């Protein structure tokens, strides 16, 4: 589903080239839940943005479902993102003037899937995420945990094949963090979505099928998580 080949990213800082990611090669199989874990500055967020097509690599290639993501033009990359990838960020990024339901609905419109909104599926997501009674509230009327669950529903509403989550529990307390992680695991298992989660928290990373460890812009190791046992060796 996702494949990175010798992926690298270098940023320019004044007269210096600063490598943020170096020669990253790995893949994520359809239906897998993979965590990428590492300290701040390890390159994990850079990898996230490259895999999601939000920035371009300096070297290497990214394949999404067999398509060479890195070879596409900006318009094509945007279309692929909308059609195949749902994003969850540490900052909830909800539109403050809209209700929770409207925030979810507008994400479906932006995805431009060509399919009408599946209201039954929206209701199912709301039930899964325990926000059914909060859909008519604006973000300012929701707790941090509720806002993140709305953000998850927003990412899932277009039923993307891939969900990319960047520190989805970073702004939450332990109780809400556990709830969000379980919802991601449930969406992976019940909705059959491929999930790639970036985190600095080893305990959060452990719920995945496999854990990718990063440091100093490099992949340093990959090990099985507490989910399904890895189907192949690295």
pLDDT tens digits, one per residue of 123-143: 988 988 889 999 999 999 999
- In the sheet that holds 33-37, the strands lie side by side as 85-88, 162-166, 194-199, 33-37, 210-215, 218-224
Q: For the chain, list residues with pLDDT below 70.
A: 113-114, 228-234
CATH: 3.40.50.300, 4.10.320.10, 1.10.3330.10, 3.30.420.40. Which one for 29-54+86-224? 3.40.50.300
The pLDDT value given to residue 113: 66
Largest CA distance in the chain: 55
Reported pTM: 0.84
Tell which residue, 232, 215, 229, 189, has the closest CA to residue 43: 215
């Amino acid at each position: 589903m996702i494949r990175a080949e010798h992926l690298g990213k270098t940023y320019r800082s004044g007269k210096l080239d600063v490598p943020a990611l170096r020669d990253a090669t790995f893949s994520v199989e359809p239906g897998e839940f993979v965590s990428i874990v590492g300290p701040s500055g390890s390159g994990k967020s850079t990898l996230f943005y490259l895999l999601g097509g939000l920035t371009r690599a300096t070297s290497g290639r990214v394949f999404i479902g067999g398509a060479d993501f890195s070879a596409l033009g900006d318009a094509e990359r945007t279309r692929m993102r909308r059609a195949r990838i749902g994003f969850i960020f540490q900052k909830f990024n909800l539109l403050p003037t809209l209700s929770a339901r409207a925030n979810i609905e507008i994400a479906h419109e932006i995805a431009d899937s060509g399919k009408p909104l599946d209201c039954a599926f929206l209701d199912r997501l709301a039930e899964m995420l325990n926000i059914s009674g909060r859909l008519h509230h604006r973000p300012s009327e929701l707790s941090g945990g509720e806002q993140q669950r709305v953000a998850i529903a927003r990412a899932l509403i277009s039923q993307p094949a891939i969900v990319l989550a960047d520190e989805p529990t970073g702004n939450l307390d332990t109780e809400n963090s556990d709830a969000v992680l379980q919802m991601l695991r449930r969406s992976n298992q019940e909705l059959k979505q491929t999930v790639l989660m970036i985190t600095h928290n080893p305990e959060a990373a452990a719920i995945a099928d496999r854990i990718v460890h990063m440091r100093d812009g490099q992949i340093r190791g990959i090990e099985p998580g507490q989910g399904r046992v890895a189907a192949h060796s690295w």
